[in-house]
Structure 1
Amino acid sequence: MTYKAAHDRYETMPYRRIGRSGLKLPAISLGLWHNFGDDKNFQTQRDILRRAFDLGVTHFDLANNYGPSEGAAETNFGRHFKDDFAAHRDELIISTKAGYLMWPGPYGEWGSRKYMLASLDASLERMGLDYVDIFYSHRPDPETPMEETMGALDTAVRSGRALYAGISSYTPAQTLAAASILKEMGTPLLIHQPSYSMLNRWTENGDPNLFEALDAVGAGSIAFSPLAQGMLTDRYFKGVPADSRAAQEHFLHQHDLTEEKMTRVRALNDIAATREQSLAQMAIAWILREQTKGSPVTSALIGASSVSQLENNVAAINNLAFTEAELTSIDEFAVESDINRWAQK
């Protein structure tokens, strides 16, 4: 059936400016990390993407290695884009990344100029796009000079293969250094994509912390894993389901689900109930709580394995306001829980 986008798709979703740029993102963005590989039903993928756009989700976030297998999410998205979204290209923000292992040999990962630009070209081919809106360095490379990696981002923008440059999982000091290098080249740092949730608060640590560093350079942030890989849902209240991420030991391990942590999660669930939200909705809303200086969270990046899950999570936008009393109560239980799988070793 030919897709016709909902006429009211822009009426309810808030859109937030990214730092001091001219670009806005929807408060909720859709990540294609887990649910758009070759192991997932193609029609379900299509239904999720169509419904997301109908709800005002204009940002689809990918990376070269999303699958399984590597590249599969981009390939599948390219088919969906051609069939359903080509006519809406100017309404969409499409991002991709390079940094993790994609092909064998010494040129298939990290941050060299050769790898970054070769990966971007391959991503564009898989998706059938002339350009992406945002191209990220997916992780800092401890051995490649940052000038080289940032130079690749600058080349991507200047060549027209990307409109903006981003970074992911960089420390505050690395963020300041990357932004300085890019500024000298004339390509400002647009955005940082960190993991961030009520149980993973590393971004708030340091002097400056990551949010303060981003505020200083005028960049925004999009937080991934706002549900702490499913811990901030009711999924594990009665044990570990056989089909769950924890059961598969995939970015969430059963040893993470300690009684102490789950007691705090249940307490957060009780707070959510007083707000007439699910725990997942409150966790997303907390990420998007009122933007103040030093806390530039532009968008919450969610995944979805079904249309109903997508709709339930997007409904977080219906209650983004928190009282000071609520934030104080949440802080009692929303503490660092050592679940950051993307921390630099």
Structure 2
Amino acid sequence: MTAETPELKVTKRGGGTPATPEQVAAAPKVALHEHLDGGIRPATVAEIADEIGHALPADSVEGLATWFRDSSSSGSLPRYLETFVHTVAVMQRPEDLARVARESVLDLARDGVVYAELRWAPEQHLEAGLDLAGAVEAVQVGIEQGRTEAQAEGRSIAVGQLLTAMRHADRGQEIAELVVEYRDRGVAGFDIAGAEDGFPPILHLEAFEYLRRENAHFTIHAGEAFGLPSIWQAVQRCGADRLGHGVRIVDDIDFDAPGGPRLGRLASYVRDRRIPLEMCPSSNLQTDAVPGMSTVADHPIGPLADLGFRVTVNCDNRLMSDTSMSREMQLLADSFGYGTDDLRWLTINAMKSAFLPFDQRLALIDDVIKPAYAAL
């Protein structure tokens, strides 16, 4: 940054009366970063594993839930990802994919989520004979079943699939083409996921260029376990609409500069272009995404919100973090003093950033989110 760069305007959020658990529970929520294979009920894992003969690391549902949480809290993203061996194993048959999707939609709706994007990697669910398209269709069956059951309970939720390509594999183009084929049948967009270090976004450049030509939406896991080069590639070379996590953008911000924080060129670009950051506080704490975090109060979401970045709050993996959208919001309320106005701002940020047509986003903001927050 040059000496002539004007001082940043910092709008301090929070610090007032924190939202109460009752307010958080009643608040409408938007979940943009929600892994389908990371949000399974422990009982469902146990039941399907018993049916298919898959060995699990614990004998009881309670023990299994504890194992997932503890194994995900090692401070290592690769170790965190190893837990998915067991959830993916029980999501191979079409009926199991549909069940997991149905239960996920119900659980989210019961937590007050009004819009969700469920991301998952079809290429990991072919061991029982399904092809990619069949796997996508099975998940969509479950989503529709979940929405119908939620509606019968008086809970309305809109849900889209995000089809994920594994960054260490070579099926990005196939998955991108599947996104375009099914984008009017429940698929909202594309993602890449998996271990960041050694597998940069640029490896899937062909898929991203194809999606851009086809006017399709995509997000990229970047800046979680690897730093600024991952974010730069995702934004500048691949053209990401959103950044999955993106917490390491703080590496390009000098918080101790004379006169106040100073943004580097990449951080400025991300903020100025309003590129959404899909932030997942509990998950980031478990994987030590930003060195030095010991509590959620240390998470960059607070200072990034103050600096005007388009931050959103998400669960990432409800099973691995033993969390929910309500819990993540309550953690922010307790850690940063966020009141209902702050949570409303985060929720509208997320809805503005959704891979949903503009008129539908606007309707959810104006007809659902704003009136519900006004009533809190």
TM-score between both structures, scaled by the size of structure 1: 0.48
Higher RCO by CA contacts (8 Å cutoff, separation 6 or greater): 2
